[in-house]
A and B are shown apart, each in its own frame.
Chain A
């Protein structure tokens, strides 16, 4: 379980290995503070949705789960997205009720987590990993594993967005060619960060 957790932070990093959640990653990484807020929100939503989707996958969708001989896996897309949209709505209401200041700081990005690919991606990867061989390092075999995977992916995403935000804050002072400014140079920076993160591949605990 610890191996799964560490691997999902560094080796199977949501941003650098799978490019999930790229849209909000590029849009919200202009300063460290908001980046941190969004990272925490994404981690939290992942932590709730992936175990719920795991339960759905095991007890409702999987082969022979409800009725023997019935495989409802093809309904996964619709069910997962409904769960995600519902949970994001719930999180939004809870945050608004108990921490209005955080709610104001996150603003529009809170509801947008529903269409963040990282959440849907983690659920779909979880679905893939349930069917893997138990000896595989990426295997998810129970609620504990699902939670470890969700937390690891969330922290990996948080790390990536805070890192990029810090670099972009510094980059404001550099002289970048005009057509490359903004989006272009950000892409290249992320590419170089991804190359750096590749040194973790093969990490095993």
Chain B
């Protein structure tokens, strides 16, 4: 049991959460990170889906790593990922239909999410299933963390809500004689780029000494 949670395995899990974050440091999987973050709920669903898919595709590829011929490994990886994404997409449609409509094509785009291919190539092809699983979970959660931060900022300032509930008191709004107004810019796709830019800025200033 102690071997299961050795220092190396712990590093595989916690590294991507902060120091080696997939979005801000490895620059993987930006596409979907920007598009689904206008509200908190789709951001969380997307983050969890990516976590699950990364973890399980890592395990499957890690189990198969000795049998896959090197020349066709990309195709094998893509097929494994595509099968997992199909399952997750059908589950989302069955249980959280409104979110799956909101995510639209971005669920399918998890297939081409560079986090998956990047981790499969860089980690799962060389490591045993259990560390690969932890690595997948860690990277997925690191990705989800950035999504949640961006989603939080955009929903709070763009709609005045969190998870669809109002958090800004009604009486603050200009229409009710107050002083506050929602910032419509935050809803626009362009702002998510700028917010991610700022998150990267903050992250790099904090972790400067480790470089």
Chain A residues with a Cβ under 8 A of chain B: 16-23, 26-27, 74-78, 81-82, 85, 111, 114-117, 119-121, 124-125, 128, 177-180, 183-188, 190-192, 194-195, 198
Contact = CB atoms under 8 A, between A and B. Distances in A.
Contact of B79 (A18, A23, A82, A194): A82
Interface string B145-158: 00000000000000
B139 interface: no
Contacts of A185: 197
Contact of B109 (A17, A76, A111, A120): A120
A131 B146 CA distance: 34
Contacts of B191: 191
Contacts of B78: 81-82, 85, 114-115
Contacts of B196: 187
Contacts of B114: 23, 115
Nearest to A188: B197
Interface in B176-211: 188-194, 196-198, 200-201, 204-205, 208
Interface in B107-123: 108-109, 111-114, 117
A6 B82 CA distance: 32
The size bracket of the interface on B is 35 or more
Nearest to A120: B112
B82 A81 contact: yes
B74 interface: yes
A124 B105 contact: yes
Contact of A117 (B112, B197, B198): B112
Contacts of B104: 128
Contact of B108 (A76, A82, A114): A76
Closest 10 CB pairs of A and B: A187-B197, A191-B193, A194-B190, A191-B194, A124-B105, A179-B204, A188-B197, A179-B205, A22-B30, A19-B34
10 contacts: A16-B189, A20-B31, A23-B114, A81-B111, A111-B74, A115-B112, A117-B109, A124-B109, A179-B201, A183-B197
Contacts of A27: 27
Nearest to B206: A179
A183 B211 CA distance: 15
B48 interface: no
B201 A194 contact: no
Contact of A124 (B83, B108, B192, B197): B108
A16 B190 contact: yes
A26 B30 contact: yes
Interface of B: 24, 27-32, 34-35, 74-75, 78-79, 82-83, 85-86, 89-90, 104-105, 108-109, 111-114, 117, 188-194, 196-198, 200-201, 204-205, 208
Contacts of B109: 20, 117, 120-121, 124
Contacts of A22: 30-31, 34
A183 B28 CA distance: 12
Instruction: Name the residue in B86, B104, B194 with the highest tally of chain A Cβ atoms < 10 Å from its Cβ.
Output: B194
Given A76-B108, A120-B111, A198-B188, A184 B201 contact: yes
Contacts of B83: 78
B85 A77 contact: yes
B97 to A, nearest CB: 15
Contacts of B75: 82, 85
